[in-house]
Chains A and B, each alone.
Chain A
Amino acid sequence: MELLHNFSFGPGGWGAALLAATLTTVAVAVCGFVIGGVIGALVAWAKLAERALLRFAADLYTTVLRSIPDLLVIYLFYFGGSLAVTQAVNFWGRDGFVGVPPFAAGAMAIGVVSGAYQAEVFRGAFRASSRGEIEAGKAVGMSGLLLFRRIIAPQVLRHALPGTGNVWQMVLKESALISVTGLVELLRQAQIAAGSTRKPFEFFLIAGAIFLAITWISQHVFSCFERRTGRYAAGGLY
């Protein structure tokens, strides 16, 4: 009974706090995922560019970020971001220390890391999309943004969907690392509750269960998307 009381939504229960923390986890993961998607698209474009310098820079980015622990990147963005903001503020004549909000630092850090993985996914998807359709698009007079919006993006996104799903799962689990900056997401909230109730096992278990539920649901959502976008795909693997 005492166990249930700990997770209840009433006074003295941690239910409401855990729910809020779950929403924070999802929010920070979604922000990081979107930032990573934008970075990934740009880096993939650089990887496929003609200019050797661009290709080199993009390759360097993906190789380096995929071999450095995410925790270090989070530290860099949290402490480094605060340092940069403080310096900027001091430059404009205000004294004192200004910290970066942990949410922003965490979302950026996750975005930058997942961007490296996303870039590889997009690059592979672009390779898999049909040359003929792009040429046909050009032949009817599309170019630049229109070609990208109408022909390239829909194909690339469809091919990228399975890989993107994997990156999302990774981002979601990585968001637990942001707890080191003090952002009250699911794991941090579990830590706080564990400290206050002296029941670490129950609270970390429930945090794990909530993470599991989120990954399970997103797995289903992604396979639903895959079925939907694969409707008109011609034969082959679909």
Chain B
Amino acid sequence: MDPFFIRDSFFQLLSGVPLTIELTVVGFLLGLVLAMLIALMRFSRSLPLRNAARSYVFVMRGTPLLVQMFLIYYGLGQFRPTFQSLGLWQFFREPYWCGILALSFNSAAYGSEVLRGALNSVSKREIEAARACGMSGVLLYRRIVLPIALRQALPAYGNELILMVKATSLVSTITMMEVTGIAARLISETYRPVEVFIAAGAIYFAINFLLTRAVSMLDWWLTPHFRGVPKSRQQERANV
């Protein structure tokens, strides 16, 4: 074990951090939008829509992400002429977009289940109250259902974010040089897996640590109604 080598590889691995974070953020946001759509589809009145959403979740959660990524990156290459004639080949040629597509499609399936639970947890009474005030459709969702549901979903969705950070490591198998890609290259060049693992592990640990902190801060900020009575207020009450 060589601490200087750990330090050197740490700095080399840092150059992959921007790509890891970029993939995480883009994949996560795209996944969130898709997850929202799928969750809403599961509450739709039309049976085909509900079934389509259910099968999507079943298939995406039942197969490994790596298989999905290979299917998109290597598998779709088979239809190159079709994509070229559609003008979409620039898109599917890039490992970056294929990686993002796989990451967000996969995360959408897991995320939609979280959101479904959260939408289920919105109490009927609040919806009825809103309807009684004359809200319906988009307004009802925007003002009542989504704020309650998203707040409910936040802790579980925070886990999705951590899983996304970890999942971005798989794009190294389709030639992208993010942190794990660089780590794999360093290991095969120097043959010192333990040192490289420590350096790369520290980077991932730090990213995930900061993200969990950020999520719990957001959760704290969004749930003032769960907090106890503030100190200053307690004083006031005592004085009365």
Contact = CB atoms under 8 A, between A and B. Distances in A.
A and B: real partners? yes
A191 B180 CA distance: 21
Interface string B107-135: 00000000000000000000000000000
A169 B197 CA distance: 26
Contacts of A64: 201, 205
Interface in B156-210: 162, 165-170, 172-173, 180, 183-184, 187, 191, 193-194, 197, 200-201, 204-205, 208-209
A67 interface: yes
Interface residues of A, number: 39
B90 interface: no
Contacts, number: 119
B88 interface: no
B59 A212 contact: yes
A147 interface: no
B71 to A, nearest CB: 4
Given A80-B194, A200-B70, A67 B78 contact: no
A154 interface: no
Given A200-B77, A201-B78, A215-B62, A176 B67 contact: yes
B168 to A, nearest CB: 8
B180 A173 contact: no
Given A69-B180, A75-B183, A205 B66 contact: no
A70 B166 CA distance: 8
Contact of B64 (A174, A201, A205, A216): A174
A179 interface: yes
A175 B77 CA distance: 25
Contacts of B184: 75
B79 to A, nearest CB: 7
A79 B66 contact: no
Given A176-B66, A212-B59, A216-B62, A71 B169 contact: yes
Interface residues of B, number: 41
B25 interface: no
Given A176-B64, A207-B67, A208-B63, A75 B197 contact: yes
B173 A79 contact: no
A204 B74 contact: yes
A67 B166 contact: yes
Given A79-B193, A200-B75, A200-B78, A67 B63 contact: no
A153 interface: no
14 contacts: A69-B168, A69-B170, A75-B184, A75-B187, A80-B193, A80-B194, A187-B67, A190-B70, A198-B78, A200-B70, A204-B71, A207-B67, A208-B71, A212-B63
Interface of A: 64, 66-73, 75-76, 78-80, 83, 169, 173-177, 179-180, 187, 190-191, 194, 198-201, 204-205, 207-208, 211-212, 215-216
